[in-house]
Structure 1
Amino acid sequence: MASIEMRNIVKQYGDGFPAVNDVSLDIADGEFMILVGPSGCGKSTLLRMIVGLEDITGGDMVIGGNRVNDKAPRDRNLSMVFQNYALYPHMSVFENIAFPLRLSKTPDDEVRRRVTEAADVLELQEHLDRKPANLSGGQRQRVAMGRAIVRQAEAFLFDEPLSNLDAKLRGQMRTEISRLQRRLGITTVYVTHDQTEAMTLGDRVCVLRKGVIQQVASPRELYDQPVNLFVAGFIGSPPMNFLPATVEGRRLQTPFGTMELDDRRAAAVSGRDLLLVGIRPEYFEDASLVDEAKRPHGTTFRARVDVTEWLGDQQYAYIPYDAPEEVQNQLRELSRELDSEALRTQAIVSIDSTSRIREGRDAEFWMDSRKAHVFDPSTGENLTRDAEAGAELTRLAEEDRQEQVEEARSRGESISGDRRGADVA
């Protein structure tokens, strides 16, 4: 295993476009790092530069303390799992997994031992004699993972490995990948555009936008303390609601009534005019179901419900509102960039599944003012982000990761063998 350090990494193509623009990121030994962002943000390009499939225009790539900019993929000692599995259809599962060992001329007894160990870990023992065409999508992905882990490389690299699977199978494979990484304790970099994967798999998540890092933090910090509008809008499903607001002393006037601010947030927005209030769907409730002790901590308002969605365990209500043209334009632009139709002049609120609120009718809602963020609409900056609270969330996540890595190493569960070359075939 090894740490990965990226120092001011730049990737420019022939037309001068910076697909990756001055990225500096340290990935610790044994860490599970997620690279996430919308299509075209540079996450796959960055992964391919780590493994050596893309040349680096500027900056230094350091793996295990060694600068590898000029090293070929086979000399970087990394294993990569591709989106399309990259299996050989004429080979059995056994030979697909064994392929990198055959290339390095590993003795047959050692090949059989290591493939068998990998098959045990991935529950592929019964399929070793089958061909890829006779496997399910999840089984093929496990074969690709097996081929990576027999190499015993310094790090695993995953390039959107679950995007070809159906929703149910993606959930199962997420669990398997997470369990495998924790068990082996190996450094892992995982690229995805699916925020569910990002939030459930990673020790830390790096959010990219047009080749530039926006925020690197634990999943909980990204969710609770986003640094700007882009991160707040990208992380969360449904996404955070953004409401136009004007400042009146210690109050914010929103389309859903007046919101009281505490001392810290009041000081942060003092002297400003038009702002955007961000509040997540789960911090709204059907006012008739709110505990009386909670009511003073929020705002109660009436609004007409446009659409409701009942999902069994929960329910969503869509509430349109009026907003200045500049706010509408900004939300439309952000919606296009995030490829999400949810970021419009409407609030999506999560209410209890037992609520009797119905579409096409007026209803009374309660909004938790304590959970609101306030953004500068011109810069996108989160004016009320609590950096200390966010840092504490990431520190706790780091302590948990370190404990898990040490447990994996103490168990000695990584598959043994020599380390040669990268499996990028």
Structure 2
Amino acid sequence: MEHKLKLTISIFFLVLLIFISVVLISEYINMKNIRAEYPDLPEESYSLRKENLNVWALRLILQFLIPLIFLTSRLSSRIRFFVEKKSLFLTCLLYGIIFFVIIFVISLPLNYYSSFHLSHKYGLSNQTFLRWLEISLKGLLINDLLMCFFIFIPFYIIQRSPRTWWLQLSILTVPVIIFMVFISPFVIDPMFNKYTSIEDEKLGKEITVLLHKSGIEDANIYKVDKSKDTNTMNAYMTGIFHSKRIVLWDTTINNLEESEVLSITAHEIGHYVKGHIWKNIIQSSISTVLLLFLVYITSTWILKLSNGSFGIKKLYDIAALPLLLLVLNFYSFVGSPIMNYLSRDMEIEADAFEITLTQDRESAVSAMEKLYKESLGLPRPSNIFKTWYFTHPTLEERLEFYRNYPLD
């Protein structure tokens, strides 16, 4: 490995540690200010926030450190040597299975601590360990191991078109994104939870009125049994064309007044009516082109400077997967502020639609306050954390918006 590459890696991790330090300092200062402004907030909210910040910092470091270790230790090239077959499909399939299982095992303790231990410690979940393990294993099988059957495709394209693979792969990704948005409500979501139609119930009929007012009366309305996984509340609209549906967590229905549920539902309807699902598809498609071009340029540069120290000579070698993921993680991290800004802008637009549709400021305010209270959320993060990680406006911003947005 050339000195230039070693220096670049060292500088990156130094900058990353500085970034983490700045965020942690900013968050602790922010929490100190919130204590003075909101004296009635429970101590558990601050404790949970601090523990989540520790998880965030460790996860961020591991996001880059794990694939780097795969490369520098030559573990990746050793796995490829162990599974290599004459068939590219079989080689990629076997490599992918081993690679993702290793990642799963490495990540398991931190995932357990963050999604199971903390949730139970702060009363946010009644989920059993077996249920948590079931969801984790299903995630591995569906999100990772299933992908192993298709992982040969990008490497085949890289091998056939070493200079333009990034563009071909970007074009191929667009229909895949649309297909997944369409098929996910029917196939993937029911693998994790039970969905029950509530269209004939009183609440369902009230939601149907909102759908008719919005011109999307063909959307289905479902309740999902999230109470076996969490005590927090949520709702969302998913799907396109005939797969579009409103989904309410049963915790939302059980813990909010009907008018508050309708306000939250109106917000989700706003996402569809305002075309946010299609906007996200378009933004994802455009960003994928740019992202893969940068991955192509950077990964080629790193591979050249590695001078064979990774045991990899070509990008179409399946052992280059950790390298591609490392660079992909880097640019996804760098681009997060832009994508999150666009997301927050859509959320504001959906909030405006919500108030216009329901003409009910009070329910919007009380529903949002209850959502944050039940999840032990704080009214705002630090500015740097909001910029990098918040896809929604802060509680303070949303309450201010609800209270001041003009009614028709």
Shorter-chain TM range is: under 0.3
TM-score by length of 1: 0.24
Question: Where is the strand percentage greater, Structure 1 or Structure 2?
Answer: 1
Question: Where is the helix percentage greater, Structure 1 or Structure 2?
Answer: 2
